[in-house]
Structure formats: structure tokens, C-alpha cells
Amino acid sequence: MVKKIKTPYYLIDEKKILKNLKKIEYIRNFSGAKSVLALKCFSTWSVFDLMSKYMDGTTSSSLYEAKLGYERFGKETHAFSVAYSAEDIQILKKISDKIIFNSVLQLKTFYREVKHIGVGLRINPGVSYSHFDLADPARKYSRLGVASIKDVMSVLDKLNGVMFHYNCENDDFEAFSVMLEKIVSKYEKILRKINWVSLGGGVRFTEDGYPLDKFCKKLKSFSDQYDVQVYLEPGEAVITKSCELFTTVLDIVKNVKDIAIVDSSIEAHMLDLLIYRVYAKINLDMNIGGGYKYIIAGRSCLAGDVFGEYRFKNRLKVGSTICFTDAAGYTMVKKNWFNGIKMPSIVVKRLNGKLEIVKQFLYDDFVCGLS
Ligand SMILES: Cc1ncc(COP(=O)(O)O)c(C=O)c1O
């Protein structure tokens, strides 16, 4: 059935998303924490109807993301931007339920315009969990959030809430918990004065084996102690393991090693992996784990356009399907027209098992992206 669809394409499986959404619902029921989808990670709105049944709204990194959340997801629209323009604020003040500023200067500049909605400030707590310096929100000289408590205190009377985003791909509950304790002791005075706290994203609480009950207990005791509504801003945790990128081998070349070139590109279609220099994960059901070793490479001109090196049970040939897993987060939102390579279509496998091609990209889309 899937074979009839022309590669390359992303296949999003709603049943797999549902598994993650059920955990989000569980967290809400047992801790009171609300979850808003981080659109920066995943903005493919064809599955928002399903997501919005289990989540409380969206959070954003720009005006356009906020608009998308407001128009296509509904429920609560949280706005955040590293720096708003005056024009952004004119629209955001009409569509946002909460607007979170990244600096005291921006908050003071726009406060009068937005004080009728929930005003928040991002705080840089100085602690973080990240495997990558590039993604570490508390890295040296980080511009993400207000680092000085004195500065936060100077606008405390204007704040309804605060946001701490201090995790990236954190699957270690103890580390999450210890850092939350540190935040609590550092910002106790502030926490007593506000109504809501967003703990950001970056926690892998939908992974199998994550101690969900401990997580809920921690969130609930934090929320009870300070009488605050807790928000989580999951991106990756919502869609993890729910999508695959299907490609076809176009050519096989040899330079010491065998190299299979597919009709896709890591640079154009899974850019995040290239930025962080990690290999794509490959579908384990498909011919994997034998004695034939291939580098799987993209068809762009970039020398390092390499998805990874893998072992296969059978020889690959022109026409073989290569399927990369975990292809939802930070992929479709970052795809680009580098080299004019055809963008993967987006296909959704609905809960009832039906396949729907929700987006196909044409030459005209490439042309219209520039002028
Ligand atoms: C402020 C904020 N919230 C939420 C997220 C989502 O993180 P993740 O997709 O790792 O859950 C990010 C990611 O960078 C972020 O910067």
C-alpha cells in the first residue's frame, strides 16, 4: 500500500502519536501540568485535530508559529520570541493567551500593549541538561532568558508567570528533579508571587521506561507548594518514534566502501541530524543487521551529505527502499530546497489505518520560494 506513494515521503503514524499523547494526558490527570505543543519542533498541522484532543494548546518561537497555533490548533496560544518586533506585538496581543518575553527591556517596551493578557518572562536559571553546547540554553553568554535575579525582581509586579527552559533530550528523571530543586531554592520568592510556571521542553517523558509516576509526583508537589499552574512545552516528546522518511536508492558507487545514494538529502530533509552530527536511525525491520555494509548518502552536492553507515542482510540495489525512523521532530520544519531537490511528500496514516497524502511539493513551490 505504502509502496505506491512516490518517494521521498515522510510517513506520520497517528497511532504512534496517540501512544505519546496518552502519556501527556496521564501527566495532566495525575500532576495537573498542562502541555502545549512546541511548534518549533513539529508544525505539521494535518495531525493537530488529534493532538488538540490531548494537549492544551501550542507554544511558539515567532509570530508565524503563534498564528499557526491560534488558527490550526486552538485552545491556549502561548507566544514566545527571542526578540519581538513592534509589528509582531500588534498581532500577538490579539491572538495570544500568554506572551512570554525574553528580556526585561522587551517586557518594559511592550508591557502597556499586552498587560491585558498573561505576561511572562523567560528566566535563564543557570542550570541545564544538554548533550550539545549548541542547544544548551544555559551555555556561556546565553541570550536565552534573564540571568540576573535582580533584573527579574525589578519587573515582578508585572508578571503573571515565568518560563524556564533548561532541558534538551533529557531522559534522566533524577537530573530533571535535582535541577528543579535548584531552581526552586534560587527563585522561591518569585515563585510565590506568580500564577503559572512553564518548565519548557526537552524532557523525554514519553520514552519507554521513563518514571512517569515520579515525574507526576514531582510536578504536582512543585505546583502545590507554590500554588502555580505548571506548563510543559514538549516538542520531541509528542512525536517521538511516530514518523519515518521513506527513500529509494538511485545509485550505488564505490570509494573503498560501498555507498548507496538515495533520492533524499540529510542536508535538505533531516537537517537537524547534520547540525548535531548524529547519524539517522534506520528502520530495523528492513533488511538490517547482516554482512553488507553501506554508507547511505544524500543526492545533494554536499560532500558530507551522509545519513550514516549501516549493515544490511542483503545487497542493496537501485530501487531498494531505505527508511529512516524518528523523522518527525525538527525535520519537516527545517526542510529546505537546497540543490532544488524534491521535497518529501507528507503522508499521514490515520487512526483507522487509511493513508492520506496531505502534502506534495512541486517545481512551482521551489520557484515560488524565491524570485
Ligand atoms: C523554549 C522552548 N520550549 C520548548 C522546546 C521544545 O523542546 P523539545 O522539542 O526538545 O521538547 C524548546 C526547544 O528548543 C524550547 O527552546
The topology under which CATH files domain 14-239 is TIM Barrel (3.20.20)
Per the document, the length of the chain is: 371
Contact 330, 272 (CB under 8 A): yes
Close Cβ partners of 294 (under 8 Å, ≥ 6 residues apart): 252, 257, 258, 259, 260, 309, 310, 312, 316
Shortest-distance atom of ligand 1 to CA 200:
3
Residue with cell 513551490: 365
Tell me the percentage of the chain whose pLDDT exceeds 90: 96
Residue 370 CA to ligand 1 centre (angstroms): 29
In this structure, the residue with its CA closest to atom 12 of ligand 1 is 201
At residue 353, does pLDDT exceed 80? yes
Shortest-distance atom of ligand 1 to CA 233:
4
The Cβ-side half-sphere exposure at 185, using a 13 Å CA radius, reads 6
**Alpha helices per DSSP H over the chain:** 14-31, 48-54, 63-68, 86-95, 104-114, 149-153, 173-191, 212-226, 236-239, 266-269, 271-275, 363-368
User: What pLDDT, on a 0 to 100 scale, did the predictor assign at position 3?
Assistant: 54
What is the SS3 assignment for 355?
A: strand
Q: Pocket residues for ligand 1 (CB within 6 Å)?
A: 38, 40-41, 165, 168, 200-202, 233-237
Q: Tell the CATH superfamily of the 2-10+241-368 domain.
A: Lyase, Ornithine Decarboxylase; Chain A, domain 1 (2.40.37.10)
| All three cell numbers of 246 | 521513506
Per-residue model confidence as pLDDT tens digits over 98-151: 999 999 999 999 999 999 999 999 999 999 999 999 999 999 999 999 999 999
Close Cβ partners of 227 (under 8 Å, ≥ 6 residues apart): none
Q: In angstroms, rounded to a whole number, what is the distance separating the alpha carbons of residues 119 and 155? A: 11
Domain extent listing, the chain: 2-10+241-368, 14-239
Per-residue model confidence as pLDDT tens digits over 317-330: 999 999 999 999 99
Q: What does pTM read for this prediction?
A: 0.97
Residue 325 CA to ligand 1 centre (angstroms): 20
| All three cell numbers of 290 | 547482516
Could you tell me the pLDDT band of residue 290, with boundaries at 50, 70 and 90?
Answer: confident
Residue 312 CA to ligand 1 centre (angstroms): 35
Could you tell me the pLDDT band of residue 1, with boundaries at 50, 70 and 90?
Answer: very low
C-alpha radius of gyration, the chain, whole number: 22
Ligand 1 pocket test: which of 39, 41, 60, 169 has the largest number of ligand atoms within 8 Å of its C-beta?
41
Residue 33 CA to ligand 1 centre (angstroms): 16
Q: In angstroms, rounded to a whole number, what is the distance separating the alpha carbons of residues 350 and 160? A: 39
Per-residue model confidence as pLDDT tens digits over 44-72: 999 999 999 999 999 999 999 999 999 99
Burial label for 264, CB within 10 Å (0-12, 13-18, 19+), is: buried
| All three cell numbers of 331 | 525535520
Phi-psi region of 151 (alpha: psi -120 to 50; beta: other; left: phi over 0): alpha
Q: In angstroms, rounded to a whole number, what is the distance separating the alpha carbons of residues 74 and 239? A: 19
Contact 63, 91 (CB under 8 A): yes
Q: Which of 100, 92, 65 is nearest to 199 (CA)?
A: 100
* H/E run at residue 35: strand 34-38
Ligand 1 pocket test: which of 27, 40, 205 has the largest number of ligand atoms within 8 Å of its C-beta?
40
Ligand 1 pocket test: which of 121, 132, 233, 242 has the largest number of ligand atoms within 8 Å of its C-beta?
233
Residue 109 CA to ligand 1 centre (angstroms): 25
Residue 61 CA to ligand 1 centre (angstroms): 9
Shortest-distance atom of ligand 1 to CA 165:
1
At residue 43, does pLDDT exceed 70? yes
Cα separations in angstroms, 182 against 140, 198, 351, 358 = 19, 16, 42, 45
